[in-house]
Structure 1
């Protein structure tokens, strides 16, 4: 893990970033997509199914592709310190903790992650009052807040994270904000006016016949936004 914690946070604060969610059960499938997009400078996420199926060895396989930021989407629900150790042993840079869990779990993860040089992202999937909970979690020391509409909710209610504009606007002013849930190039382009640091895209890339082409399109959208924001 070549990047230090502060370097990762500084990188994430600068501009807008694409995170590719590799929600596979087999590491060979994840690597098949990751190899196509890694050189675009994207964040590589070992999705929760991949972490469960392939564990530390799966994380190490993604790390072997280069110096991309690697996320272990552990969605930690208990024993935060232990799961921080798992992410560290897999040479991931970021781990995720469920914001719906008890504060003690979040505190445990934050404490151990900082000792190990890992960044902690909280995932607000399933949280009803995301603004209030985000503020509580920031006071506990989390580094990144993730707004996330889960796949089951997308299917049942027909909503995506793009429908949370006001929540995005409020939370994004306070911290590094990641958004996930049903995103594609079109919906990302419509969110460029909001303070989002990380756009997490899974199926729009991984289920595409041309994963690299879709990833390039999104990276170009985010790059144009960064240039406009800088005034160049």
Structure 2
């Protein structure tokens, strides 16, 4: 069964300890819309993200993502503003949201334009390759995140995040922490998820 990995008990045992479940880019490229549908069926009470990094055809792809059960869909920062607008319009009709993926080149003027048309969220990355090369979170990252927060965007932060990292982002308008590898590679994923929740409560009181 090609969808067996989506149903492994070990992976699903953390369902009670996370708030958002992402259908990641690699998974979606492999399994297509079935990845979103399967996660929606297994996690009916969770926010589901279709991490598609859309670059074009914003309306069509948003209709597919939200139609399959996603609550949020990602659009790459290099996408034309028209693509963002079309995707955002579909998201609004379905009660969903667009997340802008800040991979590669983008500017604060871009961020202002996204926010001006109604987009509320962005994802700030330390990418897989950057992390593997030893790149750490630094003042330049935090400064950019603060500027994005000041524009009014809510940030999801990702890139090898661990519970010990969270205090770095205390002054940032954080929407979520994306912790795929920290959970998937853990011996006890629910325990790690609880550690994230504990740190979030200690730092933000939520």
Shorter-chain TM band: 0.7 to 0.9
Structure 2 CA distance for aligned equivalents of residues 62 and 172 of structure 1: 30
Structure 1 CA distance for aligned equivalents of residues 40 and 140 of structure 2: 33
Structure-2 residue corresponding to 1:192:
170
Pair 1:161–1:72, CA change in 2 (3 A): farther
Deviation at 1:30, TM superposition (A): 4.2
SS at structure 1 position matched to 2:70: coil
| Residue pair 2:161, 2:178 contacting (<8 A) in 1 also | yes
Deviation at 1:122, TM superposition (A): 0.7
* 1:38 aligned onto 2:8: no
1:57-206 superposed matches below 5 A: 57-64=34-41, 65-129=43-107, 131-156=108-133, 158-160=135-137, 164-173=141-150, 174-206=152-184
Unaligned runs of 5+ in 2: none
Give the ranges of 4+ consecutive aligned residues of structure 1 lying more than 4 Å apart after TM superposition.
Answer: 160-163
Structure 2 CA distance for aligned equivalents of residues 93 and 111 of structure 1: 13
Structure 1 CA distance for aligned equivalents of residues 204 and 24 of structure 2: 27
Unaligned runs of 5+ in 1: 1-25
Pair 1:44–1:34, CA change in 2 (3 A): farther
| Residue pair 2:18, 2:193 contacting (<8 A) in 1 also | no
Deviation at 1:157, TM superposition (A): 5.8
| Residue pair 1:84, 1:118 contacting (<8 A) in 2 also | no
Structure 2 CA distance for aligned equivalents of residues 222 and 164 of structure 1: 20
| Residue pair 1:160, 1:183 contacting (<8 A) in 2 also | no
SS at structure 2 position matched to 1:74: strand
Deviation at 1:76, TM superposition (A): 0.4
- CA-to-partner distance for each residue in 1:132-187, whole Å, 9 max, x for gaps? 32112212321211112221232236234886111112212312221111211111
Most deviating of 74-83 and 151-160: 151-160
TM-score, normalised to structure 2, is 0.87
Most deviating of 111-120 and 178-187: 111-120
Deviation at 1:221, TM superposition (A): 0.8
After superposition, the CA RMSD in angstroms is 2.2
- CA-to-partner distance for each residue in 1:62-100, whole Å, 9 max, x for gaps? 112230111110110110011101211221100000111
Structure 2 CA distance for aligned equivalents of residues 199 and 161 of structure 1: 17
